[in-house]
Structure 1
């Protein structure tokens, strides 16, 4: 954890900081480029206010459904899937589905990046139950109200090599880095990347899923990509809204899978232009291809990342 410079260390505990003092607190954190280090993790500095406010003020409901991910592992895709599954009885006509005219990040907003990233505490009473929210925060930094509740958590992770390539393209398109591909890779290997270190993020939810499998659903991007309908049914069962035999007979699982597919979403006009959460909307969709990293990594880079994850995940049974 980063230590605070005076006056915070002399007069205030971190949880006593008011919104007016967030700026001074954030400016006291160690930084590398556009990232600030906070409790062992790195966050875009402009998101830190939202992180602090979310931690301090969010009150989880037992019926909440929370999507947790590191960046660039298929978050946009899974947001669409969760929204379509949970709200399927309200949107039977897929030709008029909200996903056709709304970016998934609008339908399933980030708590830290969107809702709490202002000095005003947001009013969340207008969100229908079950509330669908998302965050990139590691499990260790979630508010106590989430950890102490029985709300459902869906977590998605991905091969770190493809994750890094997607992250690199995202940062390049949004001009949030001036580093080269190689320099950015070296920082990733040091754990200095948005909401990273990646391995700590992945392990924080993995450990929780082992203890509370009825509460944390742990998904791997590659498996979801290979067998989408199988995992859509698994997600629906976990969220306690399983597909009925009648729905399956009518092809609803396949219909939702096609509606939310990467190819379909990326071609929609709403996902091709303008900005979403202050980022170029088109940057939210890269290629979604499994194994694309081979077109970017040298053998040495691949071996370096392999060695890091063998060490970090030794004895965990986690695989990529």
Structure 2
């Protein structure tokens, strides 16, 4: 968006990674205009609904696609029963097309498209909590569901993802930037801390999830998600196995093997007007892949940094 050109040109940048540092956070350059637009007070900014909105927040490559699928299937289960899988939107659409990224829509000047979403609206963001407008953070009717992941796995996944458009990118470069707090959505520890502190201050409006726990206990966490958004499963739904239907519908293997997630391109745009192919969102879907790409010394270094930054929270990834 041209009106923000002068602001963006003055920001610190990482041309190789197509990043800018905006308000202390390293973000994808093409989404900076969207973040600024969302933050605008008065006309043009994000306008919440009285019936409430649900925002899915995460650092990149931390289970965002899976959380989108689970939240969409849970919140839309009456309109789209998960057991009726032949007609379900998640069988013909990528989760990113079912749950839009706020930054992307606003960056494209399409923020008004969110007005067409049914209430309660479901949307997503990679923004730090500190970047969110008060229309979200101070709104008791707006709920935030946050998911984070072991930063070691996050970095490996981010590198594999970015190599689709930056084939020369080396993992060591991504690792060093992360340790310095200058990788995409970095500093990583600030991303986690912002939502952690918000979840402790206002647990009724911010739900803090961890990817590894979601993998271990998907059914329990889907129940937790449903209760949090005010749509708990009824005894009849529990007896009918609706929770398990949602978990099966949104499973990694199920989603990865769908035709729409094999060849089609997503609408998630990246620099140079490219798009990521839908299959790029379904690489491994597991915990611990970092051991195949990171030396023990690198792991200890990143763990030490995260433990130092997060020591007061009790969160540990080591």
**TM more than 0.5:** yes
How far has the Cα of 1:255 moved from its partner?
0.7
Write the deviation string for residues 205-244 of structure 1: whole angstroms up to 9, x where unpaired.
Answer: 0000000011111000000000100111111111110011
2:8 to 14, 19, 26: 26
Runs of at least 5 residues in structure 1 that lack an aligned partner in the other structure: 1-18
Match of 1:60 among 48, 53, 59: 48
- Counterpart for residue 6 of structure 1: none
Structure 1 residue 121: Cα displacement? 4.6
1:90 maps to 2:87? no
Mean alpha-carbon deviation: is it higher for 199-208 or for 140-149? Answer: 140-149
Q: How many residues were matched structurally?
A: 300
Residue of 98, 104, 112 corresponding to 2:95: 104
Pairwise CA distance, 1:163:
0.6
1:204 to 194, 212, 216: 194
Deviations 1:20-39 (A, max 9, x none): 43112101111112111111
CA distance in 2, matches of 1:178, 1:31: 19
Contact 1:174-1:280 at 8 Å conserved across structures: no
| Range that drifts further, 223-232 or 187-196 | 187-196
Correspondence for 2:309 among 289, 307, 312: 312
Q: Distance in 1 between matches of 2:245 and 2:110?
A: 40
Q: Deviations over 1:122-172 (max 9, x none)?
A: 243211101000000011110121112121110000011111111010001
Counterpart position of 1:293: 290
What is the 5 A alignment of 1:241-320?
241-276=231-266, 277=268, 278-320=275-317
Q: Does the 8 A contact of 2:163 with 2:169 survive in 1?
A: no
Query: How many angstroms apart in 2 are the aligned matches of 1:314 and 1:46?
Result: 34
RMSD of Structure 2 on Structure 1 (CA)? 1.3
Shift of 1:119: 4.0
Unmatched segments (≥5 aa) in structure 2? 269-274
Structure 2 Cα separation of the partners of residues 31 and 124 of structure 1? 30
Give the distance between the partners of 1:189 and 1:60, measured in 2 at CA. 36
Describe the shift of the 1:169–1:41 C-alpha distance in structure 2 as closer, same or farther (beyond 3 A): same
Q: Measure the CA separation in 2 of the matches of 1:80 and 1:231.
A: 13
CA distance in 2, matches of 1:268, 1:120: 28
**Could you say if the C-alpha distance between residues 178 and 51 of structure 1 is closer, same or farther in structure 2, counting changes exceeding 3 Å?**
farther
SS at match of 1:61: coil
Shift of 1:120: 5.7
Mapped contact 1:61–1:149 kept (Cα < 8 A): no
Alignment of 1:178-197 (within 5 A): 178-197=168-187
- For normalisation by structure 1, the TM-score amounts to 0.91
With over 3 angstroms needed to count, the CA separation of the structure-2 counterparts of 1:243 and 1:119, relative to structure 1, is closer
Q: In 2, Cα distance between the equivalents of 1:67 and 1:248?
A: 25
Match of 1:88, SS state, is coil
